[in-house]
Amino acid sequence: MFSYLTALKTGDFYGDKRLVYAAGLLFFIFVGGVTALRYMTFASPNFDFGIFSQMFERMKTTGLPITTCERNRQLSHFAVHISPVFYLMLPFYLLFPHPIALQLMQAAALALGILPLYGLCRHNQLSKKACTEVCFCYVLHPALAGGCFYDMHENFFLAPFLLCLLLSAEKKQYAKMGLFTVLVLLVKEDAAVYTAFTGLYLLASGREKKPGALMAAASVIYFLLAVTLLDRFGEGVMIGRYQNFLAGGQNFGSILKTVFMNPGYTLAQCLQADRIGYLLIMALPLACLPFMGRKPSEYLLLGPFVLMNLMPDYEYQHSIDFQYNFGVLALLFYLFIRRLSQCKEDVRGKLLKISLTFSCLMFLFAHTDRLSYVGRWMDHRQQYRVMEEALERIPKEASVAASGFLTPHLYMHEELYEETAGIKTDYVALDLRGTDAKAVEVYEQKGYRCVIYEEGSIAVLAYAPDDNQNSGKSAP
């Protein structure tokens, strides 16, 4: 205790690496706890957590990423997004086969991003105190936690993987560079954007010309291959998110044509009011340093930010409350560290104080209300228990159509749909919170009978055809 008090007095305490570990642990507890409570309070919707909950259960039993609640038919999730990285999570899911485990894995992986981040700080000759402060800026950046609060998504892998990739590049560890390039590409088809721009940066900066060129080329080839596979055998690429750039057609060529033929329009799209607000939220916790580079090559690392977050008119891609920020945050923090390493020590200290102040204030402003899930659970846990018990009474082999917030809790059913799809199933589960019972009457008119009814909570109906049809399930 005396040694800690002495360290606190001298300032050495802030350079203790255990403080970094503590920051990561607190992030894990907060984010993991809140996202677990989202599930427990029936606040996680079908898109995307219901999909992933069912998918991992099917991966556990069949080894394949099959879902039915994503496109209202049996379909491999890889027909929508090519994300083999999910198989890295499967061993942990096999040990703890429950949707909450997915939420906790996301929180843990992002917390572990502190380790390569700290390594980058030390490699760039920052003091231990400065390294600790950068790590606190990381866990307190509102977009890092914010991206978790729409539940688990494979994009979370981008932050730790890209930080490891950049650290490997800094240390000239070429085998690790190759490994983490592959891991980033396996996250999703559009993850190639991050590795392509990283490779171009390494090439243009002259630091790692050959590895950079190989990384950029491999990324472009992989992206083209993935897009071709999705177009021919899957559901196609979600290019509609760039609808504001598709005036000349429905392909990537139309986007490129718009960007190069009309740069003024592109700039105007990136600087709309909602984008500017988002840009400030991303930049202020980093004292705007990533946007103040001295070397033109470093601006290449801002390419994914422009392409993935500022250009699309898909509102969720320029919001801190969704999963589209993890990759760009890794690149921004790398640039942040590079800028700090170029500053004099006294200036660096002031900039870090500014960053920490903005990080703390914006984190509190953005996420304090997330603690309301604790009160919600405490006040209504009996209701949630009743809802869970009602869903457990549905036979596991039965097909089910359910309200969006119920589907994640029905993950063990092989045939599961959102109730709004209008598909005839053995059972229907309706979320009655905040609604009346008219939906129950609608289904009763379609041949279903109510077998469980908890007013204001949940209704479960079983399909009860006429005797001469002799099909359907009996009441549980």
Pick the more confident residue, 369 or 9: 369
Residue 466 pLDDT level (bands cut at 50, 70, 90)? low
User: Is there a contact between 331 and 302 (Cβ–Cβ < 8 Å)?
Assistant: yes
Query: pLDDT tens digit string along 133-145?
Result: 999 999 999 999 9
In three-state secondary structure terms, 402 is: strand
pLDDT at 4 exceeding the cut of 60: no
User: Is there a contact between 259 and 248 (Cβ–Cβ < 8 Å)?
Assistant: no
Q: Is the pTM of this model over 0.75?
A: yes
Burial bucket for residue 373 (CB in 10 Å: 0-12, 13-18, 19+): buried
**418: which strand partners?**
402
User: Is there a contact between 301 and 197 (Cβ–Cβ < 8 Å)?
Assistant: yes
User: Is there a contact between 203 and 212 (Cβ–Cβ < 8 Å)?
Assistant: yes
pLDDT at 407 exceeding the cut of 80: yes
Alpha-carbon gap, residue 2 to 9, rounded angstroms: 11
* Radius of gyration, CA atoms only, the chain: 25
Residue 470 pLDDT level (bands cut at 50, 70, 90)? very low
Three-class secondary structure assignment of 378-417: HHHHHHHHHHHHHHHCCCCCCCEEECCCCHHHHCCCCCEE
Question: Percentage of the chain with pLDDT > 70?
Answer: 94
pLDDT at 3 exceeding the cut of 60: no
Average pLDDT over residues 384-402: 98
pLDDT at 94 exceeding the cut of 70: yes
Query: pLDDT tens digit string along 239-287?
Result: 888 888 887 666 777 888 888 888 899 999 999 999 999 999 999 999 9
